[in-house]
A = this chain, B = another copy of it.
Amino acid sequence: MTTAPDKASERGADRSAVFAPLYRQIKQLLMASLEQGEWKPGELIPSEMELATRFQVSQGTVRKAVDELAAENLLMRRQGKGTFVATHHEPRAQYRFLRLQPDEGGGAPVQSRFLECRRQRATADVAALLELKAGDPVVFVRRLMYFDDVPTVLDDIWLPGAAFKGLTADRLAQYHGPLYGLFETEFGTRMIRAEERIRAVAADGVATELLQVDNGAPLLLVERVSYSYGDRPVEIRRGLYVTRQHHYHNTLT
């Protein structure tokens, strides 16, 4: 077996210019294709050999790029079948981002009820988080989630108006399953990561009625910003969780 020193040194030059190893460049190219929709959520992407030919690198280099994307939940590998674009419709991906769990028992599936869906102008803080200007159009959604028929989560959601033009109360009412699945299928916006800030607050106002708790009762406040490819913010969520029979679960590693 021989190496190809000419090729290698050419690439060495390229790499010092771009300042990243080859497999990370390949990874960026794959992410660009995902972002531009060359392969849609749930679809099969080309085989490792095909990608190696396309990018003129070895299969091992493609493999390392795909490995990282699979580790980040952007791709899903299935032995014997191929590599697929991750989707929020995948059974095991459902409610991957909802960390509230019943204290004991599996519990019945969650039920959603949409209370509001209307267009607004962004306030300064919402605009800042969504990287818009204050006054830009946003869609506001309020929804209540039931665990075992007990109202447990009250979510207020803000979405960039431009990307979610067709979102209506009717469309939400007839949809079942995770919202991120709807966003991905109907609006071409795939959520891939989120940051949450969690605090304890006292219940008041409309929350006490909707969640059926006393005024001043402790609630978990979960503020979430969700991001799509390229760290583009695509959703803001402000959730109030009742944690009498449930808890927010987290693993530290």
Taking Cβ atoms with an 8 Å cutoff, the residues of A that contact B are 1, 72-73, 96-97, 99, 192-202, 216-221, 223-224, 241, 243, 246-253
Cα A200 to Cα B196 with chains together (Å): 16
CB distance from A243 to the nearest CB of B (A): 4
Cα A6 to Cα B249 with chains together (Å): 49
Contact A252 B197 (CB under 8 A): no
Interface of A is mostly: strand
Contact A253 B197 (CB under 8 A): no
CB nearest to A223 among chain B residues: B247
Residues of B within 8 Å of A241, CB to CB, are 200
Contact B194 A219 (CB under 8 A): no
Question: Could you show 8 A-B contacts with beta carbons less than 8 Å apart?
Answer: A73-B253, A193-B253, A195-B251, A198-B250, A199-B220, A199-B248, A200-B218, A223-B247
Contact B194 A251 (CB under 8 A): yes
A250-B250 contact given A202-B218, A218-B201, A219-B200, CB 8 Å threshold: yes
Cα A221 to Cα B248 with chains together (Å): 10
Cα A202 to Cα B241 with chains together (Å): 14
Q: Which of B198, B216, B223 contacts A198 (CB 8 A)?
A: B198
Cα A194 to Cα B195 with chains together (Å): 20
Contact B247 A193 (CB under 8 A): no
Residues of B within 8 Å of A73, CB to CB, are 253
A220-B195 contact given A72-B253, A253-B73, CB 8 Å threshold: no
CB nearest to A2 among chain B residues: B1
Cα A248 to Cα B222 with chains together (Å): 9
Give 16 new A-B contacts, CB below 8 A, not counting A198-B198, A218-B218, A218-B219: A96-B252, A195-B252, A196-B250, A196-B251, A197-B248, A197-B249, A198-B250, A199-B243, A199-B248, A200-B219, A200-B243, A201-B218, A201-B243, A202-B216, A223-B247, A250-B250
